Amino acid sequence: MPIATVSYVISGIGIGKLIAYFLFGYLSDRFGRRKLVLTGTLSYMVFFIGIPFTHNIAVAYLFAIIAGVANSALDSGTYPTFVEMGGNSSASNVFIKAFMSLGEFILPLFIATLEARSLWFGWSFIGALLVLIVNLFVLRGAHFPDRNHTDEAFSEAHQSLSKVRRVIATIALALYGYTTMAIMILFTQWISMFATNDLGYSSLVSHGLLSLYSIGSISGVIVMFILLKLNFTETKLLVVTNTISLIAILTVTHASTVIMTSIACFVFGFTAAGGVMQIALNVLLKMFPTHKGVITGTYFTFGSIATFTIPILTGILSQTSIQSVMNFDVMIGLVGTVLVIVTALAIGTGNVFVHAGHSVMSMLHVGVTPVGQGQSKDN
């Protein structure tokens, strides 16, 4: 099957998200989070049961849409739930990303094992189905907090914003919901092929780059979780991580050695997939604390547009060259960095850019990833 065809089928997930996100966000606020989480779980079960036995592209596309619907339901139920549990909501929502990253790390290893032993690839879907069945039993005894509960400490800092500043920040964050999803989708789908075809690396090294990205993502989530628990400013983290991820993806597309590419892939995973999407969502939720479901659905609607459009756009670009696909990823990263800077300016986070600039220069000077050293807690 042509690569472009596979990319188009994957875009069905984006269609499913696009159809469902805003509706499920409203339903989450209206009828509660538990029902949405249950809906998402059951929908994913349909996907994991059906896709391994599908041999028709049209049917596979339908199941991809169902997977997008399932993802929408789970996001609309889980993210508001973590916020309503109280405490440090930013860190809690990043905790969701930790398990996502763990899955991204385990799944390629599982599939590689199936391939090495010449086993049926459908077992990867059956395994996910079994996990969902266990989740159903866990949900039976789970207690969900009251929906739309507002923690004053959670939203106090953003409630004094003027209407104009809030509109600017909201638009910037919504568009960032697109770019942060787009940059990760594009990278994970094309990095291995780019490394093999354009950089001339072996198949083992090329696939290893994706694993390094996943390890970086997991490491980033852990560090972000700790920093947010220590009350580091969210907008500062967004500016710093997006700036570094832009440098990292630029390095990946122009590196000529395996070691440089490997380091850049790890750093890119650390910064671009280390929970920044969840951090940005929390900044947005602080501005609209009484409509968490709708805001979550709206934010991820833009991400779903990326899930739908990026596979199509990259499928077209790949017919020219894989290099053009990766250059497109760099452009998306640049736009995302500009958007978080606009957000920080609109919210008025003081001298975040001075601190962020010092942090970036320090990290580039000592050659390490950001772990919080030298960063100020008071903005």
Supply the Cα-derived Rg of the chain in whole angstroms.
Answer: 20
Give the integer Cα–Cα distance in Å for 201 and 289. Answer: 48
Q: What is the pLDDT of residue 211?
A: 84
Query: Which of 173-187, 203-217, 239-253, 329-343 has the least mean pLDDT?
Result: 203-217
**Identity of the highest mean pLDDT range in 11-20, 55-64, 158-167:** 55-64
Q: What is the pLDDT of residue 378?
A: 39
Given a contact cutoff of 8 angstroms between Cβ atoms, the answer to whether 220 and 274 are in contact is yes
Give the integer Cα–Cα distance in Å for 263 and 101. Answer: 18
**What does pLDDT average to over the chain?**
85
Given a contact cutoff of 8 angstroms between Cβ atoms, the answer to whether 60 and 200 are in contact is no
> Per-domain residue ranges for the chain?
3-366
Give the integer Cα–Cα distance in Å for 319 and 329. Answer: 16
Give the integer Cα–Cα distance in Å for 295 and 248. Answer: 31
Secondary-structure breakdown of the chain: helix, strand, coil percentages, each rounded to the nearest 5: 80, 0, 20
Mean pLDDT of 360-376: 43
Mean pLDDT of 285-290: 83
Query: Which of 108-117, 335-344, 362-371 has the least mean pLDDT?
Result: 362-371
* DSSP summary character for residue 288: S
Give the integer Cα–Cα distance in Å for 25 and 321. Answer: 39
Task: List, for residues 266-275, the tens digit of each pLDDT value.
Answer: 999 999 989 9
pLDDT range class, residue 10, cuts 50, 70, 90: confident
Give the integer Cα–Cα distance in Å for 360 and 377. Answer: 16
Give the residue from 253, 245, 296 showing the smallest Cα distance to 272. 245
Q: What is the pLDDT of residue 56?
A: 87
Q: Where are the alpha helices (DSSP H) in 51-162?
A: 57-84, 89-116, 123-140, 152-155
DSSP string, 337-379: HHHHHHHHHHHT-SSHHHHHHHHHHHHHHHT----STT--S--
Give the integer Cα–Cα distance in Å for 200 and 256. Answer: 9
Task: List, for residues 307-357, the tens digit of each pLDDT value.
Answer: 778 988 998 999 999 999 999 999 999 999 999 999 999 987 544 444 545
Residue 358 has pLDDT above 60, yes or no: no
CATH architecture of 3-366: Up-down Bundle (1.20)
Q: Let me know how long the chain is.
A: 379
Given a contact cutoff of 8 angstroms between Cβ atoms, the answer to whether 284 and 25 are in contact is no
Using alpha carbons, list the distances in angstroms from residue 194 to 185, 187, 188, 299, 373.
14, 10, 11, 30, 34
Q: Which amino acid is at 323?
A: Q
**Of 118 and 7, more confident:** 118
pLDDT range class, residue 207, cuts 50, 70, 90: confident
Instruction: Say what percent of the chain tops pLDDT 90.
Output: 53
Task: List, for residues 161-191, the tens digit of each pLDDT value.
Answer: 788 999 999 999 999 999 999 999 999 999 9
Residue 364 has pLDDT above 60, yes or no: no
Residue 363 has pLDDT above 70, yes or no: no
Query: Which of 12-21, 164-173, 260-269 has the least mean pLDDT?
Result: 12-21
pLDDT range class, residue 86, cuts 50, 70, 90: low
* DSSP summary character for residue 51: G
DSSP string, 152-201: HHHHGGGTT--HHHHHHHHHHHHHHHHHHHHHHHHHHHHHHHHHHHTS--
Q: What is the pLDDT of residue 366?
A: 42
Which token pair is 138?
């866990």
* DSSP summary character for residue 274: S
Residue whose structure tokens are 């953003």: 158
Residue 105 has pLDDT above 80, yes or no: no
Helix (H, G, I), strand (E, B) or coil at 261: helix
Packing angle of the helix pair 234-254, 276-287 (nearest 10 deg): 150
Which token pair is 315?
């499928």
